[in-house]
Chain A
Amino acid sequence: SQTIHQWPATLVQPVGSPLSLECTVEGTSNPNLYWYRQAAGRGLQLLFYSVGIGQISSEVPQNLSASRPQDRQFILSSKKLLLSDSGFYLCAWRAGGMGTQYFGPGTRLTVL
């Protein structure tokens, strides 16, 4: 069966510090991968998605970037965090096509 991991589970970082969040998927190959942010009262916002290694699409302009160095690894990064980057970050995967999308456990990021 497929599983999706995210770490760390929680993170508190000062403004201006760098960020690296990691997501890995097991039990499938060549998944579509997604990064979402969930802010209080605003719903889920798609940040990045990837259909293959090295292929990254950004949905919104922002202070963040994403990379996919391996087939089942997706990384969310920032060089300098802003207060507005605080939120709950969720990684998700879906097999190619229009099937079910599965989410990871999330990372709670607080920028102080």
Chain B
Amino acid sequence: KQEVTQIPAALSVPEGENLVLNCSFTDSAIYNLQWFRQDPGKGLTSLLLIQSSQREQTSGRLNASLDKSSGRSTLYIAASQPGDSATYLCAVHAYSGAGSYQLTFGKGTKLSVIP
């Protein structure tokens, strides 16, 4: 059974700092990996999707990398801003049995960017 772990569970950084969020998964047979952002009491916003054949994806100040063989992904946020404060979730898309392909989520990293 696929398990996704995100470390650390919480992170506090001063504004302007570059930071890295980590995600690991136990089964490397994935189709893609998706990073989401969740603000308190809100739904999930998709940030980046990396296909299993890709090594990285970039969107603005965000860069996500994928090392499928080692079961790891990182989300790099450059020049952090207070508006980046949120919980960041990693999810892997893989076969889950009975002809079904589903997302398995980590529990997230809660990021606080201090002005």
Q: Does A31 contact B (CB under 8 A)?
A: no
B102 at the binding interface (Cβ < 8 Å): yes
Closest Cβ of chain B to A91, distance in Å, is 9
Contact between B32 and A49 (Cβ–Cβ < 8 Å)? no
Q: How distant is A77 from chain B, measured CB to nearest CB, in Å?
A: 20
Query: What does the 1/0 interface line of A89-112 toward B look like (CB < 8 Å)?
Result: 010100000111111111010000
B76 at the interface (CB under 8 A from A): no
Q: Is the CB of B49 within 8 A of A99?
A: yes
Q: Is B72 an interface residue (CB 8 A)?
A: no
- The answer to whether the Cβ of B46 comes within 8 Å of any Cβ in the partner chain is yes
**A41 CA to B42 CA, complexed, in Å:** 16
Instruction: Answer whether A90 and B43 are a contact pair too, CB < 8 Å, given A99-B49, A100-B34, A101-B34.
Output: yes
Do the beta carbons of B41 and A108 come within 8 Å of each other?
Answer: yes
Q: Is the beta-carbon distance between B108 and A43 smaller than 8 angstroms? A: yes
Residues 62 to 108 of chain B near chain A (Cβ within 8 Å): 89, 91, 93, 98, 100-103, 105-108
- Give min CB distance, B7 to chain A, whole Å: 14
**A-side interface mostly:** strand
Cross-chain contact B102 with A106 (CB below 8 angstroms): no
The answer on a CB contact under 8 Å between B89 and A44 is yes
User: Are A43 and B107 interface neighbours, CB within 8 A?
Assistant: yes
> With A49-B100, A100-B34 in contact, is A43–B41 under 8 Å at CB?
no
Within 8 Å CB of B46, what residues of A? 100-103
Contact A43 B49 (CB under 8 A): no
Partner of B44, one of A41, A42, A103: A103
Can you list 14 pairs linking A and B with CB atoms under 8 Å apart?
A: A41-B107, A43-B106, A43-B107, A44-B89, A44-B105, A46-B103, A49-B102, A98-B32, A100-B46, A101-B103, A103-B43, A105-B42, A105-B43, A106-B43
List B residues at the A interface (Cβ < 8 Å). Answer: 31-32, 34, 36, 41-46, 49, 51, 89, 91, 93, 98, 100-103, 105-108
A-B pairs, top 8 by smallest CB distance, nearest first, are: A103-B44, A103-B43, A43-B107, A44-B105, A98-B31, A105-B43, A106-B43, A100-B49
